[in-house]
């Protein structure tokens, strides 16, 4: 009968499922090539363990720190994932000579290498070609061209903060850091000032981006789930708003470039579009790739800078003696012929860079690291051989706080960079190797200029100690940092 056949099929299906699950559990626990690596029992069975541990807090970086404190330098964080806490792992995994490749995490946008951004591309040769165009857009000559616009934006932000202090009494430094970073990103990336600092409001699409990044951060340990959930009806509504916003920006730039009268490129998108028009080998291979590069500009150019700036302002407020040292260093800096600060020479102020480096050490913009997959033959890291075809990562947040490489690693001590009391081989806030952040030099320029403007104009004080504590303890690892509000008093310097 039909009922009997269905019952028989159900029994067979249950038996098969039970046998398969049992064999998978036994294999992952006792026979997998990573079975000798220490780690939580549940993590050996499924990456969903990390999702469960961090689902509410969105603090994967903190969970990885806890695991390394318990299990040591090599921790099995998934069935075929290993987190590594050795400086020697950085060149072994990320250098130009490494045979490790980007993991499948980078395929969650598209598995077509011709339809992804520079950052998400997994093919080394294609990345090398495309990177050349970005390097041109962000080289020293371009950096100097962007500098005057960044100085103007920083001056505008100082005026806005001063006005808000008179009106409201305190200013959310995290919010204004985001506005500043987004406006600068618009100038550098699209040649267009978004005027968010001028109006004090964040574009709704950027706000939706932050919510989308929370979704991405929540499911980062299981990239196969990201595409599955994103395909559900209505699940990607907020993200779609951001996609549409960046598409309009890219299409507007394409249209404007068609009417270009021979002017050279002056922003990142112009360089990319120009490469496409000239059929340069390093061009975005498709229009889809160009759109993804536009989204990369928005995300990498705003989220990373804003979190670093907000954290720097927190530490300068929490450590007033360090802030006074910075103000004194800026006060002693040479004045230009027109009686103003020489912004282009801020890189010569050692203590300003020390402040930035120490902030990046404690709060790297991508705290949980960038996953790679080992080559079939595996890799040797010090005394440990890591098998082939497994995902490996060096979490910056954890390595940067390791007392072996940074004594008193939990403390904000900019002087360590002045004295050279650091392990430079354990410090890589912008990544390492050919995939390192292409905009790191520009990011340093932006941070120097805005921090100098603030330090020269204001003394800082926490407006709410409770919220200040929440800011530094409840930041979310959403691939990049997402920070809570940080209300500060910006007192005019006497």
Which tens digit of pLDDT belongs to each residue from 222-233?
888 887 777 777
Residue 95 lies inside a defined structural domain of this protein: yes
User: How much is the average pLDDT of 349-357?
Assistant: 97
In a domain, 163, yes or no: yes
**Domain assignment present for 13:** no
Please give the model's pTM, rounded to 2 decimal places.
Answer: 0.93
Give domain status of residue 246, yes or no: yes
Strand 81-84 versus strand 391-393 pairing type: parallel
Question: Number of structural domains, the chain?
Answer: 1
Check whether 437 is labelled as a binding-site residue.
Answer: yes
Query: Does residue 21 form part of some domain?
Result: no
Domain range for 174 is: 32-492
Token reading at 327: 């103000």
pLDDT one-digit tens code per residue, 91-147: 999 999 999 999 999 988 888 999 999 999 999 999 999 999 999 999 877 777 888
The angle at the Cα of 265, spanning 259 to 270, to the nearest 5 degrees, equals 70
Under the banding of pLDDT at 50, 70 and 90, the label for residue 353 is: very high
pLDDT of amino acid 337: 47
Q: Is the Cα dihedral 104, 108, 111, 116 positive or negative?
A: negative
How many alpha carbons lie under 13 Å from residue 98 in its C-beta half-sphere?
24
pLDDT at 341 over 80: no
Q: Indicate which CATH number applies to the domain containing 299.
A: 1.10.630.10
Residue 388's Cβ-count burial label (10 Å; 0-12, 13-18, 19+) is: middle
pLDDT, one tens digit per residue, over 260-306 is 766 788 899 999 999 999 999 999 999 999 999 999 999 887 888 99
Do residues 449 and 188 lie in contact, with contact meaning Cβ atoms separated by under 8 Å?
no
* pLDDT (average), residues 25-41: 91
In a domain, 14, yes or no: no
Contacts (Cβ under 8 Å, ≥6 apart) of 9 = none
> Phi and psi (nearest 5°) for 415?
-60, -25
pLDDT value, residue 262: 66
Q: Tell me how far apart the alpha carbons of residues 209 and 212 are, in angstroms, rounded to a whole number.
A: 5
DSSP helix/strand/coil, 113: helix
Within a domain: 226: yes
Burial (CB count within 10 angstroms: exposed 0-12, middle 13-18, buried 19+), residue 31: exposed
Angle at 84 between CA 421 and CA 71, to 5 degrees: 100
In a domain? residue 24: no
The two structure tokens encoding residue 280: 């340069």
């Amino acid at each position: 009968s039909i009922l009997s056949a269905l019952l028989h099929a159900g029994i067979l299906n249950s038996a098969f499922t039970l046998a398969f699950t049992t064999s998978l559990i036994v294999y992952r626990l006792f026979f997998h090539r990573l079975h000798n690596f220490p780690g939580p029992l549940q993590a050996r069975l499924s990456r969903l363990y990390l999702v469960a541990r961090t689902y509410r807090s969105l603090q994967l970086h903190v969970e990885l720190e806890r695991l390394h404190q318990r299990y040591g330098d090599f921790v099995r964080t998934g069935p075929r994932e290993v987190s590594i806490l050795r400086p020697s792992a950085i060149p072994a995994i990320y250098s130009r000579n490494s045979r490790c490749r980007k993991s499948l995490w980078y395929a969650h946008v598209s598995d077509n290498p011709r339809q992804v951004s520079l950052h998400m591309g997994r093919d080394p040769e294609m990345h090398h070609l495309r990177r050349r165009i970005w390097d041109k857009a962000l080289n020293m000559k371009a950096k100097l061209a962007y500098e005057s616009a960044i100085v103007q934006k920083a001056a505008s932000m100082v005026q806005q903060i001063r006005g808000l202090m008179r009106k409201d009494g305190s200013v959310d430094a995290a919010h204004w850091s985001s506005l500043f970073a987004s406006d600068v990103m618009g100038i550098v990336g699209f040649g267009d000032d978004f005027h968010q600092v001028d109006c004090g409001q964040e574009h709704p699409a950027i706000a939706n981006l932050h919510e989308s990044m929370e979704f991405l951060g929540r499911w980062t340990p299981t990239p196969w789930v990201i595409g599955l959930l994103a395909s559900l009806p209505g699940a990607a509504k907020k993200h779609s708003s951001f996609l549409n916003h960046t598409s309009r920006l890219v299409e507007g730039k394409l249209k404007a470039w068609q009417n270009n009268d021979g002017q050279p490129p002056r922003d990142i998108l112009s360089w990319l579009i120009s490469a496409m028009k000239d059929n340069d080998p390093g061009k975005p291979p498709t229009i889809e790739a160009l759109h993804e590069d536009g989204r990369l500009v928005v995300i990498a150019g705003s989220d990373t800078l804003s979190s670093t700036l907000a954290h720097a302002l927190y530490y300068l407020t929490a450590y007033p003696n360090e802030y006074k040292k910075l103000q004194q260093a800026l006060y002693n800096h040479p004045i230009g012929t027109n009686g103003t600060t020489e912004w282009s020479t801020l890189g010569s102020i050692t203590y300003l860079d020390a402040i930035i480096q120490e902030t990046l050490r404690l709060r790297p913009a991508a705290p949980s690291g960038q996953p790679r997959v080992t080559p079939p033959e595996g890799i040797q890291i010090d005394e440990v051989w890591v098998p082939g075809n497994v995902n490996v990562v060096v979490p910056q947040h954890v390595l940067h706080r390791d007392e072996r490489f940074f004594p008193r690693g939990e403390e904000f001590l900019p002087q360590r960079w002045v004295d050279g009391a650091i392990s430079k081989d354990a410090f890589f806030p912008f990544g390492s190797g050919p995939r390192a952040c292409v905009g790191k030099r520009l990011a340093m320029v932006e941070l120097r200029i805005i921090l100098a403007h603030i330090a020269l104009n204001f003394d800082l004080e926490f407006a709410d100690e409770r919220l200040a504590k929440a800011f530094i303890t409840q930041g979310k690892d959403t691939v990049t940092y997402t920070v809570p509000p940080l209300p500060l008093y910006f007192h005019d310097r006497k």
